[in-house]
């Protein structure tokens, strides 16, 4: 169980869409347009289908394979997207992949996934892509930078502890967390891919109050588990942060990086 809830994925989808680097989306489009059809896209860790909804309007000819191991999320993806001839849904654990699913795939997409993954998983996965000459568009990898326009003295410590927790096991072995983009880019480059990266930060203003609220509440468990900050100090920080969500001109920036790795022809 990954523990990601439909509600959280629904809340973050508009912020993700705004954050994605447009330049890489255009390059995905150009790459697929230059390939002979069929253009089969495999979205791994698809959740409820956010990447499909973002990319598919510009790619009407593409066929999709949406893969996740959470049946609740896949069922929600099926419900939201509806039955279509050009989409298959696959319930699979990425740690036990059936490689034949990649037989006809032109590009793999993923969003908010690789920071959960381990270095070992990335090596295995990039090896698969290299052998099969499949491109990778991996968007919204958390980069460790969280910044609020209104400061609090505990911000640095909270973010440092949160980032440490991001490197604990999320189901793939020790997670790369904020190191994911650098690690994955380096692996892809070493395997002969042409790699482009672009930053894709969330800029959360008072209009995104519900997302910010959930995001902040999500710090509680990691900070408690790391154990550097007393419960009382953390409560003070959280109360301060929650009370500032709606304040005029306040912005929370959460850093991400998008990666596009294309096989050299
Ligand atoms: C942060 S969510 C992102 C979901 C979606 N890509 C999005 O952007 O809304 C990470 C997703 O990866 C999936 N996931 C995590 N570990 C997985 C695994 N071992 N096999 C398949 N899917 C996995 C989760 O179920 C979840 O849907």
Q: Which CATH number goes with the domain that contains 122?
A: 3.40.50.150
Determine, yes or no, domain membership for 163.
Answer: no
Determine, yes or no, domain membership for 187.
Answer: yes
* The predicted structure's pLDDT at residue 236: 98
C-alpha 47 – ligand 1 centre gap (Å): 5
Q: Label residue 54 exposed, middle or buried (CB < 10 Å: 0-12, 13-18, 19+).
A: middle
* The predicted structure's pLDDT at residue 248: 87
Instruction: Give 88's strand partners.
Output: 65
* The predicted structure's pLDDT at residue 265: 73
The residues near 23 (Cβ < 8 Å, ≥ 6 apart) are 196, 198
User: CB of 262 within 8 A of CB of 193?
Assistant: yes
Look at ligand 1, atom 8, and give the residue with the nearest C-alpha: 111
Ligand 1 and 171: CB distance under 6 A: yes
Determine, yes or no, domain membership for 190.
Answer: yes
Terminal-to-terminal C-alpha distance of the chain = 38
Place of tokens 């990266």: 197
Helix residue spans in 133-257 (DSSP H) = 155-166, 180-190, 209-217, 220-226, 231-243
C-alpha 46 – ligand 1 centre gap (Å): 6
Best residue among 68, 114, 116 to mutate for probing ligand 1, ranked by most atoms within 8 Å of CB: 68
User: CB of 60 within 8 A of CB of 32?
Assistant: no
C-alpha 230 – ligand 1 centre gap (Å): 31
| Domain count across the chain | 1
Determine, yes or no, domain membership for 165.
Answer: no
Give the domain range for residue 26. 6-148+174-203+253-263
The DSSP H or E segment spanning 7 is helix 6-19
Determine, yes or no, domain membership for 232.
Answer: no
Determine, yes or no, domain membership for 121.
Answer: yes
CA distance linking residue 251 with residue 258, whole number of Å = 21
Determine, yes or no, domain membership for 27.
Answer: yes
Q: Which two tokens stand for residue 149?
A: 């326009």
**pLDDT mean for each 10 residues of the chain (265 residues):** 83 98 97 92 98 96 97 97 94 96 97 98 98 98 97 98 98 98 98 98 96 97 98 98 93 98 91
Determine, yes or no, domain membership for 216.
Answer: no
């Amino acid at each position: 169980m990954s523990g990601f809830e439909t509600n959280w994925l629904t809340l973050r989808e508009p912020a993700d869409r705004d954050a994605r680097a447009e330049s890489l989306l255009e390059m995905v489009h150009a790459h697929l347009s230059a390939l002979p059809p069929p253009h089969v896209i495999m979205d791994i860790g698809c959740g409820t289908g956010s990447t499909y909804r973002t990319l598919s309007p510009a790619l009407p000819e593409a066929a999709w394979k949406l893969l996740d191991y959470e049946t609740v999320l896949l069922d929600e993806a099926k419900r939201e997207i509806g039955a279509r001839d050009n989409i298959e849904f696959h319930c699979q654990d990425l740690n036990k992949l059936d490689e034949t699913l990649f037989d006809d795939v032109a590009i793999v997409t993923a969003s908010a996934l690789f920071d959960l993954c381990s270095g070992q998983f990335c090596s295995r996965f990039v090896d698969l892509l290299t052998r099969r000459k499949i491109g990778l568009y991996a968007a919204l990898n958390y980069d460790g930078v969280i910044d609020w326009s209104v400061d609090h003295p505990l911000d640095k410590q909270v973010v440092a502890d949160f980032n440490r927790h991001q490197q604990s096991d999320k189901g793939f072995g020790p997670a790369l967390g904020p190191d994911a983009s650098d690690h994955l880019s380096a692996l892809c480059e070493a395997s002969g891919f042409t790699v482009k990266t672009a930053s894709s930060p969330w800029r959360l203003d008072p209009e995104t109050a519900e997302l910010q609220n959930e995001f902040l509440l999500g710090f509680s468990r990691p900070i408690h588990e790391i154990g550097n900050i007393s419960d009382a100090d953390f409560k003070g920080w959280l109360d301060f942060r929650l009370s500032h969500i709606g304040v005029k001109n306040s912005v929370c920036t959460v850093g991400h990086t998008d990666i596009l790795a294309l096989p050299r022809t």
